[in-house]
């Protein structure tokens, strides 16, 4: 590209005009620390992985601390009430009341279902509905008989 064409096969060597003297220690350091792009990339990757790992562990610790503090703050103490006036004793009492109501409703349901448990009208209705799935109008007669039975019992 210059004014003179390059000659094929000619190797030029740079010859400085000033004397450069390298010491033995400098040369040995340069030889021992031969780093290629590949080794530099590996070292950089390891460094980045270590930094990411350290940061993730820090974030994990912070998250666990926040979670534990929120958990401790959210637990209801048995003798303390929170802002809405709810205590664990009050909640336990409400749960017991609801369980009692549920038990009484289940007993009522059992007593009501035992009245019609052995009745042939109920059996016929169940059989008809199972045989005619998706077609309840085919069981109109059985439904009317069951309605009459229920009205007589109530």
Residues 31 and 61 in one domain: yes
Tally the C-alpha atoms within 13 A of residue 41's C-alpha that lie toward its C-beta.
3
Which pair of structure tokens corresponds to residue 135? 């077609």
Q: Is position 134 within any domain?
A: yes
Give the per-residue pLDDT at 101: 93
Quick check: helix, strand or coil at residue 32? helix
Q: Is position 103 within any domain?
A: yes
Q: Is position 141 within any domain?
A: yes
Residue 5 has pLDDT above 90, yes or no: no
Residues 111 and 121 in one domain: no
Give the per-residue pLDDT at 45: 93
Helix ranges (DSSP H) in the chain: 24-32, 37-74, 88-115, 120-131, 140-153
Residues 132 and 103 in one domain: no
Residues 35 and 70 in one domain: yes
Q: Is position 20 within any domain?
A: no
Residues 102 and 123 in one domain: no
pLDDT, mean of residues 72-87: 63
For 149, other C-beta atoms within 10 Å of its C-beta total: 17
Q: Is position 63 within any domain?
A: yes
Report the sign of the C-alpha dihedral through residues 25, 26, 29, 34, in that order: negative
Residues 59 and 95 in one domain: no
User: Is residue 85 very low, low, confident or very high in pLDDT (cuts 50, 70, 90)?
Assistant: low
**6 against 132, higher pLDDT:** 132
Q: Is position 127 within any domain?
A: yes
Residue 127 has pLDDT above 90, yes or no: no
Angle at which helix 120-131 crosses helix 140-153, to 10 degrees, equals 150
User: Is residue 4 very low, low, confident or very high in pLDDT (cuts 50, 70, 90)?
Assistant: low
Q: pLDDT tens digit string along 16-56?
A: 788 777 788 877 777 766 667 788 888 899 999 999 999 99
> Which residues have CB under 8 Å from 34's CB, separation 6+?
none
User: Is residue 76 very low, low, confident or very high in pLDDT (cuts 50, 70, 90)?
Assistant: low
Report d(CA 39, CA 43) in Å as an integer. 6
Q: Which domain holds residue 91?
A: 87-116
Residues 53 and 40 in one domain: yes
Residues 108 and 70 in one domain: no
Domain count, the chain: 3
> Which residues have CB under 8 Å from 122's CB, separation 6+?
116, 146, 149
- Report the chain's mean pLDDT, rounded to a whole number: 79
Q: Is position 19 within any domain?
A: no
Residues 96 and 63 in one domain: no
Residues 122 and 137 in one domain: yes
Q: Is position 6 within any domain?
A: no
For 148, other C-beta atoms within 10 Å of its C-beta total: 11
Residue 78 has pLDDT above 70, yes or no: no
Residues 64 and 101 in one domain: no
């Amino acid at each position: 590209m210059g004014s003179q064409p390059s000659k094929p096969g000619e190797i030029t060597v740079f010859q400085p005009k000033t004397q450069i003297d390298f010491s033995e220690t400098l040369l040995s350091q340069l030889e021992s620390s031969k780093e290629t792009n590949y080794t530099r990339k590996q070292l950089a990757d390891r460094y980045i992985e270590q930094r990411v790992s350290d940061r993730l562990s820090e974030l994990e610790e912070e998250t666990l601390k926040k979670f534990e503090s929120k958990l401790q703050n959210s637990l209801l103490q048995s003798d303390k009430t929170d802002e809405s006036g709810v205590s664990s004793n009050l909640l336990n009492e409400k749960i017991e009341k609801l369980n009692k109501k549920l038990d009484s409703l289940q007993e009522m349901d059992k007593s009501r279902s035992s009245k019609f448990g052995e009745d042939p009208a109920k059996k016929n209705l169940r059989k008809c509905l199972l045989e005619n799935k998706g077609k309840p109008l085919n069981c109109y007669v059985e439904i009317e008989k069951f309605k009459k039975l229920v009205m007589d019992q109530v």
